[in-house]
Chains A and B, each alone.
Chain A
């Protein structure tokens, strides 16, 4: 199936490009890659990257080098729900290691892996700017903070619904 944005997404691309001066549409690359990731199943395939390149009139390499630099772009398929648990110092002081271990135990996946049913991916990430509300993780657009084992159970149950 050829990669193609919906009409609404194309309108959003147009809005994004208009925020920069004439000829500087390359500046829209990061936001457009976010949009593409949302539209195409949470990750960016080579076809998607090529599509974004043609859309913004860039050479494919300009898109590849950006997509590989930033940690939020997934270059491999991910599960429907991605648990991105922060593991940096301040979170560690408040038990992020135990949370990572618990998710691992509960879902049977190590950091970087996806469950066989394709529902969950576990990722460890570095400081997300929520150090005062540790331990925490990012799920999609939002943060889940003050995590405990019970809360993790709850989140998993919610996601399975």
Chain B
């Protein structure tokens, strides 16, 4: 059984409460950092740990922190990204819901390193009940002297606020998130300047994912080098994976990134295999934006090596035969499932979530959705498949933010690996219409009237 650093205490009864969390060793990282380390020493430990951002892009956290501009007299901000809206991803929710003090503790230690005296959590609007849980934890932390003025007599002041979004996947993109936190539409900004130089209200800002900030706690407690010993290669530490789809035990798992994909899917410690005696057909291993892989390429790389649950191995083979770790949203499909239909729902999602600033993304996502709906409901032509391919290629790389790529990749990978399924739909229009429960009947009303 792998080591757990984040969720090891998640099942302790009443761990949500401050007293229990503290009794189990909580807030030690704050004591250690504020009493015996300088802010730069904290950043150094995070650098040594090799921790990579857990929000999807996998950028080294310590390096990001070291880019933070520090002009005299200008406030700096830490903003935690709890927007979690990538289909398949529900790990941050689990962490905040069951062990909220871990995030608060990580934020205090990180705020100290960055010099942020007011830090924010931007949480997706739908997680309304978690806002209450977090505010309760913040109030307890403040009451016990971990937040407020002159924490532990160190001279460091810090406060944390929870900001609720209102339903927009795009606000997970860091600059759209900052716009939203400023009370505006979630339109991503053109970069540069990066948030590290000009972020919230024009001030230097670090945006990190919930899990990234939570991981700072064990890193400071145990030391960056110790943390880096867990895992393999550039995939250090542990990773939260939210597993869903057609598996026996959906849920959130903390894994050591040395286990194989096969073990993750079939072992009883994790997903527990595919239900109802069905077979594994395909999987999207890192949230809806990353390429789908057919079972054969999922379990073994194109070179025939065992595929592991980590950044390097999941990406092995590039987009031709690999995928990505992404946000850790692991979506499993059994052999009853229709790849065209699943891809259609994702295309609809991206059309709905495009902020509309760039034409390739705004128009392209709409076209992809319509064409996929046509193919799925038996109204597609063979040339539509090539048209889809062409559209996704023209979106990728031609937009302000990566949502464009995120919309293009799932379509590209579905055609790349499951072209025969698209062709089947075109060649069997009648069956395509009836076999999938007549999807068009309750497609988004917007599509029906368009």
Residues of A at under 8 Å CB distance from B? 19, 21, 24, 26-31, 33-34, 62, 65-66, 69-73, 87-90, 92-94, 97-98, 100-101, 104, 110-112, 124-134, 138, 141-142
Closest 5 CB pairs of A and B: A70-B166, A132-B250, A71-B167, A29-B183, A72-B167
| Option from B127, B168, B245 in Cβ contact (under 8 Å) with A93 | B245
Please name all residues of chain A whose beta carbon is closer than 8 Å to the beta carbon of B126 when the two chains form the complex.
72, 128-129, 138
Residues of B at under 8 Å CB distance from A? 75, 84-90, 93, 118, 124-129, 161, 163-169, 180-186, 201, 242-246, 250-252, 288, 329, 331, 333, 337, 341-342, 345-346, 348-349, 352-353, 355, 437, 439, 442, 444-445
A selection of 21 A-B contacts at a CB cut-off of 8 Å is A19-B161, A26-B184, A30-B164, A62-B184, A66-B183, A71-B167, A72-B125, A72-B126, A89-B88, A89-B349, A90-B245, A93-B342, A94-B246, A97-B439, A111-B444, A112-B445, A126-B349, A127-B288, A131-B88, A132-B244, A141-B128
How far does the alpha carbon of A128 sit from the alpha carbon of B341 in the complex, in Å?
19
- Return B444 CB to nearest CB of chain A, in Å: 7
Q: Which residue of A lies closest to B251 (CB)?
A: A132
A69 pairs with B168, CB closer than 8 A: yes
A73 pairs with B90, CB closer than 8 A: no
| Option from B127, B331, B337 in Cβ contact (under 8 Å) with A131 | B331
- Return B307 CB to nearest CB of chain A, in Å: 21
Q: Which residue of B lies closest to A56 (CB)?
A: B183
A70 pairs with B88, CB closer than 8 A: no
Further contacts, 7 of them, CB under 8 A, given A70-B167, A127-B86, A130-B93: A69-B168, A71-B352, A93-B333, A93-B342, A101-B437, A126-B352, A132-B250
| Option from A30, A34, A90 in Cβ contact (under 8 Å) with B183 | A30
How far does the alpha carbon of A70 sit from the alpha carbon of B125 in the complex, in Å?
10
Q: Which residue of A lies closest to B132 (CB)?
A: A141
- Return B147 CB to nearest CB of chain A, in Å: 13
**Contact A124 B331, CB 8 Å, known A34-B166, A129-B85, A141-B128:** no
